[in-house]
Structure 1
Amino acid sequence: MPVNPGHLPTIHERPIWKSKQNEMADEFSYYKINKLLWRWSSKEGARIVREVGLSTDKAPPALPKQPETNSTRGTPTPKPPKPDPMVKMVDDIGKAVEAFSRFKIWLNTPDPPKPPKAPPPAKPEKAVPPFDIQEIPGAMREEMMPIGAKLMERWFAGRLNYSPTDDDERAKINQDGKPYPPDMYDTTTVKLDWVLKFERARSKYEYLITEAIRSDKARKALHDALIPYKDMGDLFTTNICGNDPEQLHTLFQFQRVEVGGTLAEKIMLQLAAGATNYSAPDDLTAAPGSFVFYAAIGHVRFSSDIASGVRVSDTRIAELTGIWVYVTDGYTFTDKAGDRSQYLGHWSSDGVIVIPLDGIAATSPYIPYVESPVTIGNPVIKGEVYYPIHNRDFRQWQIKHQRGGDFIVFTDRRFVPVIPPIRVHL
Structure 2
Amino acid sequence: MNDDNIPYYKVNKLIWTWSRRDGAEGCRAVREAELSMERPPPLLEKAATEAPVVEEKPSTPSKLPTPAASQPEKPKKTEMVPPFDIQDIPEAMRKLKMPVSAKLMERWFAGRLNYSPGDSDESNEINQDGKPYPPDMYDATTVKMDWILKFPRAKKQFDYLIGEAIRSPAAKKVLADKLKRFDKKMFGISTRWVSKDNTAHLHKHFHFQHVPVDGEFSQKIQTLLASQWKRSGVPDDLAGALGSFNIYAAIGSVRPSDDFMRRETAFELTGIWVYVKDNYTFTDQTHNRSQYLGHWSRNGVVVVPLDVVAAASRYAPYVESPVTLGNPAIRGNVYYPIHNSDFRQWALKHQRGGDFVIYSDRCFVPVVPPIRIDL
Same fold (TM over 0.5): yes
Could you say which residue in structure 2 is the equivalent of 1:266?
A: 220
**Are residues 1:149 and 2:102 paired?**
yes
Kindly state the Cα deviation for residue 270 of structure 1 after the two structures are TM-superposed. Answer: 2.5
Q: Name which of 117, 127, 145 aligns with 1:174.
A: 127
CA RMSD of aligned residues (A): 2.2
Q: Name which of 33, 38, 44 aligns with 2:16.
A: 38
Could you say which residue in structure 2 is the equivalent of 1:408?
A: 357
The answer (yes or no) to whether the contact 2:305–2:318 under 8 Å persists in 1 is no
Q: How does 1:242-281 map to 2 (within 5 A)?
A: 242-274=196-228, 276-281=230-235
Report the identity percentage: 59
Q: Name which of 34, 44, 49 aligns with 1:53.
A: 34
**Are residues 1:139 and 2:92 paired?**
yes
Q: How does 1:11-410 map to 2 (within 5 A)?
A: 24=3, 26-44=4-22, 45-64=26-45, 127-231=80-184, 232-274=186-228, 276-303=230-257, 311=262, 316-357=265-306, 364=314, 369-410=318-359
One-letter code of the match for 1:187?
Answer: A
What CA distance in whole angstroms lies between the structure 2 residues aligned with 1:252 and 1:376?
A: 52
Kindly state the Cα deviation for residue 126 of structure 1 after the two structures are TM-superposed. Answer: 6.8
**Are residues 1:423 and 2:372 paired?**
yes
What CA distance in whole angstroms lies between the structure 2 residues aligned with 1:240 and 1:167?
A: 28
The answer (yes or no) to whether the contact 1:230–1:318 under 8 Å persists in 2 is no
What CA distance in whole angstroms lies between the structure 2 residues aligned with 1:64 and 1:264?
A: 28
What CA distance in whole angstroms lies between the structure 2 residues aligned with 1:334 and 1:348?
A: 22
One-letter code of the match for 2:328?
Answer: P
User: Deviation string for 1:375-412 (max 9, x for gaps)?
Assistant: 12111111111000000000000000000100111110
User: Deviation string for 1:346-398 (max 9, x for gaps)?
Assistant: 00010000112399779746x76522101121111111110000000000000
Could you say which residue in structure 2 is the equivalent of 1:15?
A: none
Kindly state the Cα deviation for residue 163 of structure 1 after the two structures are TM-superposed. Answer: 0.5
SS of 2:38's equivalent? coil
The answer (yes or no) to whether the contact 1:373–1:387 under 8 Å persists in 2 is yes
Name the larger-Rg structure: 1
What CA distance in whole angstroms lies between the structure 2 residues aligned with 1:362 and 1:250?
A: 42
- Which is helix-richer, 1 or 2? 1
Number of paired residues?
Answer: 339
SS of 2:147's equivalent? helix
What CA distance in whole angstroms lies between the structure 2 residues aligned with 1:167 and 1:286?
A: 24
User: Deviation string for 1:64-87 (max 9, x for gaps)?
Assistant: 39xxxxxxxxxxxxxxxxxxxxxx
User: Deviation string for 1:285-312 (max 9, x for gaps)?
Assistant: 1111211100000001135856xx8x3x
One-letter code of the match for 1:38?
Answer: W
User: Deviation string for 1:133-165 (max 9, x for gaps)?
Assistant: 000001101111111000000000011111011
- Counterparts in 2 of 1:415 and 1:135: CA distance versus 1, 3 Å: same
User: Deviation string for 1:194-230 (max 9, x for gaps)?
Assistant: 1111111111111100001001111111111111014
The answer (yes or no) to whether the contact 1:40–1:270 under 8 Å persists in 2 is no
Question: Where do 5+ consecutive residues of structure 1 fail to align?
Answer: 1-19, 66-124
Kindly state the Cα deviation for residue 282 of structure 1 after the two structures are TM-superposed. Answer: 1.3
The answer (yes or no) to whether the contact 2:257–2:372 under 8 Å persists in 1 is no
What CA distance in whole angstroms lies between the structure 2 residues aligned with 1:320 and 1:410?
A: 23
What CA distance in whole angstroms lies between the structure 1 residues aligned with 2:81 and 2:304?
A: 20
Kindly state the Cα deviation for residue 328 of structure 1 after the two structures are TM-superposed. Answer: 1.0
Deviates more, 1:43-52 or 1:133-142: 43-52
The answer (yes or no) to whether the contact 1:293–1:327 under 8 Å persists in 2 is yes
Structure with higher RCO (Cα < 8 A, 6+ apart): 2
Report the TM-score when normalising by structure 2.
0.85
Deviates more, 1:222-231 or 1:319-328: 222-231
- Counterparts in 2 of 1:424 and 1:343: CA distance versus 1, 3 Å: same
SS of 2:44's equivalent? coil
User: Deviation string for 1:15-54 (max 9, x for gaps)?
Assistant: xxxxx9xx72x54221100000001101122211012110
The answer (yes or no) to whether the contact 1:201–1:259 under 8 Å persists in 2 is yes
